Structure 1
């Protein structure tokens, strides 16, 4: 088989493998349980690993961000994904693969930034026992546009984070912690927009591969989250 027929056959195979990866993402099923209509599970798994290693999904997500994002607000929040027992023994140890033990269980924390309409811009993965403060600043530096409002909950209320927002030309809209002695200005009306990032996490966790972490490696779990973010952008 040569020429157009060969290229057509290759496109069909690649589309089938993409559909197989999406099926795994939505259901959270083991790769070995992939239905036969998608072809051999080994082929789909190898294709998924290859695309994860080359950074395909993160590159697509970045391209969508550049062309479609709404920079009126930047919202930052975090959520945790419980690590399944099959993923709890990764190569290199749990800390190296962004796993940590909280009071409840072994989990991975997803630190997410989204735009004014609630679409994902970027994320950082850490263990559940890692402080939110250290991950907030890189997200601000990478995604905050000048004159934008940075909206966060009281878990991020610190002078250092407010100063970081100011240094990057933004306006901090952060809920005040009850223990704060000095009360800076706080726009409660604008803060109501923060529900959009909470809705984003709910949409992400419709994908069972995100709601529970089945991936042993940081890179493969990050690739699954990037793919889910792409589907949210294109509204699939």
Structure 2
């Protein structure tokens, strides 16, 4: 077992959720060896062609990762692992915080044609495909952004990839709507935390109405300009926003979650051309956590 490979306990928890057969009913090659190769590349950030020979053909490892990113297999595995953890009481629903992080994109991510890639005998469009490929241009070059909802145990519940110049506030509701943790005993999946946390970037009337409508308590500070505007309008400005400073201290949990994700160099710096492949890369790192 190499450094960073799946342990026997991790493999025992992951194996039941993996696909049993390949294309046209054929058998996959050894899942464990291929997944260890995917984890090695995500942890080190090397080129796929530079994978050590002990993981087999680099093309087999890359194609498995690309295909599972396109058809949603990685997303399904993440939901299954979350369901197992939730059944064991290892998901802290007392407060779920939302935050984002910017990732520099390598120059090799540029030059992608603006059309949806076609997959043979599968979905014509990958599940997480974006026509903008999740890339934005700034003075520093190409950037992308990961919007994340993390639970109290410093593990991701939902994520979304957007271009780097996109704001945080409009992505709060889409990220929260991606939270779906299944219940092993049956019934509707859990989608609502007990409390929502966020920084001043998420303070808006729309974002405050959404958790209130879903009966979710929230702890989001009000920026100084919004507070001054509300006071200037008098009674028409509405009531003051409730804010608990002690609960707000827990927002560091999502920041620590992002820090743990960025231990993987292929997450801290984006090397994947396609947005759906990079989404799969971040999802694999989340599964490992």
Query: TM-score if structure 2 supplies the norm length?
Result: 0.72
Match of 2:173? Answer: 137
Is the Cα–Cα contact under 8 Å of residues 147 and 169 in structure 1 kept in the other structure? no
Which region of structure 1 is more displaced relative to structure 2, 147-156 or 198-207? Answer: 147-156
Are 1:211 and 2:268 counterparts?
A: yes
Q: Provide the residue aligned with 1:97 in structure 2.
A: 133
Question: 1:74 aligned to 2:131?
Answer: no
Does residue 26 in structure 1 map to residue 62 in structure 2? no
Q: Which residue of 2 aligns with 1:192?
A: 249
Aligned residues: 224
Q: TM (normalized to structure 1)? A: 0.87
Q: How far off is 1:90 after superposition?
A: 1.7
Matched, 1:41 2:58: yes
Q: Distance in 1 between matches of 2:178 and 2:30?
A: 36
The answer (yes or no) to whether the contact 1:140–1:165 under 8 Å persists in 2 is no
Shift, 1:136, TM fit: 0.6
- 5+ unaligned residues in a row in structure 2: which ranges? 1-26, 116-129, 180-189, 231-239
CA contact (8 A) 2:136 2:164 kept: yes
Do the aligned residues in 1 keep the contact of 2:96 with 2:149 (CA within 8 Å)? Answer: yes
Q: Distance in 2 between matches of 1:33 and 1:146?
A: 43
CA distance in structure 2 between the partners assigned to 1:65 and 1:38 by the alignment: 27
Indicate the structure with greater helix content.
Answer: 1
Contact 1:79 1:109 in 2 (8 A): yes
Structure 2: how far apart are the matches of 1:110 and 1:218? 11
Give the CA deviation at 1:177: 0.9
Partner of 2:158: 122
- Structure 2 distance, partners of 1:109, 1:185, is 29
Deviations 1:3-26 (A, max 9, x none): xxxxxxx78732211111111000
Distance 1:40 1:140 in 2: 38
Change over 3 Å in CA distance of 1:189–1:98 after alignment to 2: same
CA deviation map 1:37-87 (0-9, x unaligned): 222212211222222222221111112333423221111000011110011
Decide whether the 8 Å contact of 2:94 with 2:195 is kept in 1. Answer: yes
SS in 1 for 2:224: coil
Q: Is the 1:153–1:174 Cα contact (8 Å) retained in structure 2? A: yes
Aligned pair partner of 2:143 in 98, 103, 107: 107
Distance 1:31 1:197 in 2: 30
Instruction: Output the CA distance in 1 between the equivalents of 2:173 and 2:74.
Output: 24
Per the alignment, residue 176 of structure 1 pairs with: 222
| Cα RMSD, aligned residues only | 2.1
- Structure 1 equivalent of residue 201 of structure 2: 155
Rounded Cα–Cα distance in structure 2 between residues aligned with 1:45 and 1:147: 36
